[in-house]
């Protein structure tokens, strides 16, 4: 069984996000980029399933400009077998990503698709669900445990107030939550080996998908700066300030 994993190139979660001076977008110049953390968990889960003998091949797909090949190579260094880049000028909105992934799924026929629950740049949390609708496939979102049993996947999901366990008929789509696993680090020999693993480049035209813009980004504003805190000398002074200055008591 093949497993297809979708990985998005995003701003590194440790990097400080800067907004462009004209507020048109986030400034990505000279900013460290990385695999979206939830996608890294998806790659790890696919590799573990392959190591356990449940999968024969792990394919990584990333949609975006050429630079996202860097994240595909990272996934290959972690243990994925081959990569596919769908070359687009920018990072398309979720419905377009889902349509492109749907075509890759039709071509590759994987038994399982693993994605992040959300990309940390756009915070959309919708691509997996849209892909499930487009392909009419079962979905297990926010997975904290995955077990493959024959032609079914048992997925434990993190829901409000506890855990929910679902049985999905394969092929199915799973989106990862933070506690599913702890991704490994790529070793230097594996980083070197990854350079020789196959990476195919395709395009929306080749996949027969027309990208449509459904929304327009109007502006991005940084959070308001918090004013510096002050040190008080006693509890009495603190209570006095909370009552009379902050007026929260
Ligand atoms: P989102 O719905 O945008 O929050 O993204 C959820 C998941 O969809 C991500 O964790 C990825 O697995 C996948 N995804 C979103 N955008 C892309 C992209 N440009 N390339 C590959 N996968 C993507």
In the reported structure, the alpha carbon of residue 7 is separated from the centroid of ligand 1 by a whole-number distance in angstroms of 6
Q: Which of 37, 52, 33 is nearest to 180 (CA)?
A: 37
In the reported structure, the alpha carbon of residue 117 is separated from the centroid of ligand 1 by a whole-number distance in angstroms of 8
The pLDDT of residue 39: 98
Does 102 have pLDDT greater than 90?
A: yes
* Choice between 196 and 249, residue whose per-residue pLDDT is larger: 196
Count of the separate structural domains present in the chain = 1
Task: Determine what percent of the chain is predicted with pLDDT higher than 70.
Answer: 100
The residues near 187 (Cβ < 8 Å, ≥ 6 apart) are: 77
With a 6 A CB cut-off, is 122 part of the ligand 1 pocket?
yes
We report the CATH number of the domain holding residue 218 as: 3.40.50.620
Asked, for residue 217, whether it belongs to a domain, the answer is yes
With a 6 A CB cut-off, is 174 part of the ligand 1 pocket?
no
The continuous run of DSSP H or E covering 236 comes out as helix 235-244
The pLDDT of residue 51: 97
In the reported structure, the alpha carbon of residue 35 is separated from the centroid of ligand 1 by a whole-number distance in angstroms of 10
With a 6 A CB cut-off, is 85 part of the ligand 1 pocket?
no
Asked, for residue 51, whether it belongs to a domain, the answer is yes
Does 114 have pLDDT greater than 90?
A: yes
pLDDT band (50, 70, 90) for residue 88: very high
H helices present in 79-168, as ranges: 94-108, 127-135
In the predicted model, what is the mean pLDDT of residues 86-115?
A: 97
The closest-lying atom of ligand 1 relative to the alpha carbon of residue 5 is 12
Q: Which of 103, 122, 121, 123 is nearest to 113 (CA)?
A: 103
pLDDT band (50, 70, 90) for residue 72: very high
Q: Which residues partner with 113 through β-bridges?
A: 4, 173
In the reported structure, the alpha carbon of residue 6 is separated from the centroid of ligand 1 by a whole-number distance in angstroms of 6
pLDDT band (50, 70, 90) for residue 121: very high
Asked, for residue 177, whether it belongs to a domain, the answer is yes
Q: Which of 121, 155, 120, 122 is nearest to 141 (CA)?
A: 155
pTM of the complete model beyond 0.85: yes
- Structural domain boundaries, residue 99: 2-244
Beta strands in the chain (DSSP E): 2-6, 9-11, 18-19, 26-27, 33-35, 57-64, 82-87, 112-116, 139-149, 152-159, 162-169, 172-176, 199-202
The pLDDT of residue 225: 84
Kindly report, residue by residue over 146-177, the tens digit of the pLDDT.
999 999 999 999 888 899 999 999 999 999 99
Q: CB–CB of 180/159 below 8 Å?
A: no
Cα separation, 50 vs 203, in Å, equals 28
In the reported structure, the alpha carbon of residue 119 is separated from the centroid of ligand 1 by a whole-number distance in angstroms of 6
Residue bearing tokens 């990072």: 91
The closest-lying atom of ligand 1 relative to the alpha carbon of residue 127 is 2
- Return the biggest CA–CA distance within the chain: 71
Asked, for residue 249, whether it belongs to a domain, the answer is no
In the reported structure, the alpha carbon of residue 60 is separated from the centroid of ligand 1 by a whole-number distance in angstroms of 12
Asked, for residue 136, whether it belongs to a domain, the answer is yes
β-pairing verdict for 33-35 and 9-11: antiparallel
Kindly report, residue by residue over 212-240, the tens digit of the pLDDT.
999 999 999 988 888 888 899 999 999 99
The pLDDT of residue 246: 87
Q: What average pLDDT does the chain have?
A: 96
The closest-lying atom of ligand 1 relative to the alpha carbon of residue 115 is 12
Output the CA–CA distances (angstroms, integers) from residue 71 to 62, 85, 184, in the order listed: 8, 10, 15
Asked, for residue 137, whether it belongs to a domain, the answer is yes
Q: Which of 3, 5, 7, 28 is nearest to 119 (CA)?
A: 7
The pLDDT of residue 249: 86
């Amino acid at each position: 069984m093949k497993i297809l994993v979708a990985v998005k190139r995003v701003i590194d979660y440790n990097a400080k996000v800067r907004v462009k001076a004209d507020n048109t977008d986030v400034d990505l110049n000279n900013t460290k980029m990385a695999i979206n953390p939830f996608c890294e968990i998806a790659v790890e889960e696919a590799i573990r399933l392959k190591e356990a003998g449940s999968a024969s091949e792990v394919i990584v797909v990333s949609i975006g400009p050429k630079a996202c090949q860097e994240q595909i190579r990272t996934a290959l260094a972690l243990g994925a077998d081959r990569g596919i880049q769908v070359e687009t000028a920018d990072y398309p909105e979720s419905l377009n990503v889902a349509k492109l992934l749907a075509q890759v799924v039709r071509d590759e026929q994987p038994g399982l698709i693993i994605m992040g629950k959300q990309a940390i740049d756009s915070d959309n949390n919708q691509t997996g669900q849209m892909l499930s609708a487009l392909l009419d496939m079962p979905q297990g979102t926010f997975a904290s445990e995955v077990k493959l049993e024959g032609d079914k996947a048992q997925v434990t999901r993190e829901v409000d107030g506890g855990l929910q366990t679902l049985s999905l008929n394969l092929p199915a789509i799973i989106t990862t939550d933070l506690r599913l696993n702890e991704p490994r680090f790529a070793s230097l020999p594996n980083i070197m080996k990854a350079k020789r693993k196959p990476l195919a480049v395709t395009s929306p035209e080749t996949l027969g998908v027309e990208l449509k813009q459904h929304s327009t980004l109007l502006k991005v504003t940084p959070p308001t700066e918090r004013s510096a805190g002050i040190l008080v000398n006693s509890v009495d002074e603190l209570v006095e300030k909370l009552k009379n200055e902050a007026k929260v008591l």
